[in-house]
A and B are shown apart, each in its own frame.
Chain A
Amino acid sequence: MAGALDGIRVIDLTMWFQGPVAGQHLADQGAEVIHFENPRGGDLGRGVASIKALPVGDWNQYFLVINRNKKSMAVDLKSDAGRQVMYELVEKSDVFLTNLSAGALSKWGVSYDDLSAINPRLVYAMGSGYGPRGTVTKPSFDLTVQALIGVMTRLGEPGQPPIYLGMGSGDAMGGLMAAFGITTALWAREKTGRGQFLDASLYGAQLFMAAPTMQAWLATGSDRFSRQVSRSHARTPTWNTYRASDRWMVVCVHNDDGQWAKLAGLLDEQSSGGKLAADARFATDAARGENNVELVAELDRVFAGDTAENWVESLAETGLHAGVVCTLAELAEDEGAWANDYLARTHCNEVNREVMLRGLPLGLRGTPGTINTLGPELGQDTELILFETLGYDWDRIGELKSSGAIL
């Protein structure tokens, strides 16, 4: 079956995570994405050897998953002949995607001005760190940009270190935003006849990630959106994390009298001598808010009396929502995650066996995304693309090779 982006050719001059994962979204939906790399080792993501101090094992899942469904060309942009290859490919491409520094791109002659002069229909997508305007020039990574947003210092118990939202969390958003920008620019191109420059920076993407609390903070200036608040001081105790006898869960019950009556009724029934429903300290929504610390303490005590699984079930029977706080190991066995293709299996050539990987988060039911191959070997498609797409003959390809312009 055809992919939604069949016929779109993307030059993916990216490295590490933010840039490559943008290309992954396009490749998953059928675009021809060419990971364009230097012949001296290529994308630095190929060299990732450990994660969390653990060896990555016999296949480099860091590189191979976000570069899946792509081709690889190894071309030296420092050579005139290599640059000529790039320019000829630009003529025949729809999208140029990069997350390299503006300085390097200019030096190699692949800035927006350089490439749009060759192909005015080209969509030129940049994944920068701090945005196209401004004065910051230092290198950017996920965490050093996330540090500036304000999301890290509001999470966790008071006094605890700021919390990182997870390795690659901001890069993942930056890449997703770039993919959204690229498709949107492709749509506009049909009307204007021209491509354009776009940038989806880590800064912009990560501010968007903060939207639920940052927008509230911008309007109110209230600390409760911007500072660490202990779970023992949750403003809405019925909407909080609780530790059952065996493990943690989230409880999502609204602080209104109807929901409280249901919750208190259930808890009183399940614990001996329970009197929450009749407790005047918790009789109204305002009272529950004012006596929040006492209420969390009461709920801590009651929830500790049974297992999380049992609580989630009995709450569900009462029409109330809660969930067990799972581990990644449990997620890896989650029936729904597999049913919806959020997890997938595919063959890995490097180890000649099937491996598990992050699947397809976006369901296009008419033109489903596919995972055909994991990330390419460095330069595996150079010669074929030169021959088939650019019409080079084998003599010329041989010359490029012996001069070192291609791998």
Chain B
Amino acid sequence: MAGSQPTGALDDVRVVDLTRTFWGAMAGTLLGDFGADVVRLDSPDGSSREFPDDIERPALGDNDCMGALVHRNRRSVAVDISSDEGRALARELAATADVFLTDLSSDELGRCGLDEKSLRAGREDLVYLRGSAFGPLGPDSDRPPLDELAAARTGMMPILPEPGQPPVYPGHGQMYTSVMLALGAVTALLHRRASGEGQAVDASLLGGNMYGASLDLQAFLAIGGQRFCEPVSRLDAGNPMSGTKYPTSDGLWVTLTMPETDRWWPALSELVGLDSDDPRFATHDLRCGDNRLPLMELLDGAFRLESAAHWRERFNELQMSADVIEGYEFPAADPQASDNRYLIELEGGQRSLGFPVWMQDTPAAMHREAPAVGEHTDELLLALDGMDKARLESLRESGVVSGGER
């Protein structure tokens, strides 16, 4: 094998994707981007493309921009798993997989015979990958897979905003879960290659949100106290030069991360016009201890005197770890984002999120754009044992499958 050039790092892996959520499907996208053959089980009526938390869909109408990301690099087979014949087909397709990916409830999976026990019987090398809301164990294992519920449980929502403000649902917790599922799949495949054994792998929205709550959560577990349970003012930060936000003259904000204040204090104080030799701020301990609050007040006043563009120019000149807090317009226009393929353009000119990991020899790529529901029904089902065109036609007539060549 040495020396051959694969088209993708995972091009010898087949994933059968029975997901219904955005974040569950995104795990399949990560695997498909690196070349895995991802076969998505859609439903004949297309309802499999409606996310349970997609409250904006009616407003988006026909512009299936989310699908362009969530369903790319896949083939779609449309099979009705609420029918006996459809379930049997889904099980046959699953039997062709190296990885079976799902975010359905354990009840639904059990009803369809697509639970771990059924699929791994006689297929001990299968990696059975399941995402859920709160994990497979414990009292909440059957709750619906909504990121809002997991985020609410995680304890970060009350402390994200300023004091006195309503809690904030951030929306990113589910994305850790997507990557964890993809990481779990490949880790289990590596073990399978070494041992011949597959296994069940799980990740959840709660686990993802908790992982993302990293430093606050770990500090609470170690230190404890109300300061981790109630919002803290931005002018009450632990280090005035690190993790802080200050407003600019034009209504925007800058943020600083210079944890080693001894190194950066001379340059920063000079930049903003504060006295570098002010004895109140002579040492790191004074800046981050007794006099941190007055220092933050002074910085807050100083940054208000100039525009965001001014500050950015100076930060860059001085190579400071500091920047302007931007909107989505910034990365969309930033060559750094497109040159690294974090943002890409699809064939029709539509912009999309691209590939978060840069791999030199086996790069992530757009192998195929998102298929229509059932676009590959025929080719995938005709490859199954005992399937022929006549049987496929009768399945289509009875509504068990849809799509494919007519």
Contact = CB atoms under 8 A, between A and B. Distances in A.
Interface of A is mostly: mixed
Interface of B is mostly: mixed
B259 to A, nearest CB: 8
Nearest to B1: A191
Interface residues of A, number: 151
B229 A65 contact: no
A321 interface: yes
Nearest to A286: B58
B234 A176 contact: no
A118 interface: no
Interface in B204-252: 204, 206-208, 210-225, 227-229, 232, 234, 236-238, 243, 245, 247
Interface in B1-39: 1-6, 9-10, 12-13, 22, 26, 30, 34
B208 A207 contact: no
B404 interface: no
Contacts, number: 517
A329 B189 CA distance: 37
Interface string A186-223: 11101111101111110111011111111111111000
Given A157-B165, A165-B160, A196-B360, A179 B220 contact: no
A311 B262 CA distance: 52
Given A62-B215, A365-B202, A328 B220 contact: yes
A136 interface: yes
A163 to B, nearest CB: 5
Nearest to A205: B356
Interface stretch (B63-71, B73-81, B268-276, B392-400): B63-71
Among B158, B323, B327, B350, which residue has the most Cβ atoms of chain A within 10 A?
B327
Contact of A5 (B3, B12, B190, B336): B190
Contacts of B65: 215-216, 218-220
A248 B158 contact: yes
Instruction: Classify chain B's interface size.
Output: 35 or more
B304 to A, nearest CB: 13
B321 A4 contact: no
Given A184-B359, A203-B342, A324-B152, A162 B253 contact: yes
Contacts of A98: none
Contacts of B218: 61-62, 65, 357-358
A214 B55 contact: no
Contacts of B155: 326-331
A132 B190 contact: no
B319 A207 contact: no
B153 interface: yes
18 contacts: A50-B238, A56-B222, A133-B336, A134-B340, A161-B234, A163-B168, A166-B170, A205-B356, A220-B65, A224-B56, A225-B328, A250-B149, A250-B152, A250-B169, A252-B146, A357-B221, A361-B176, A364-B191
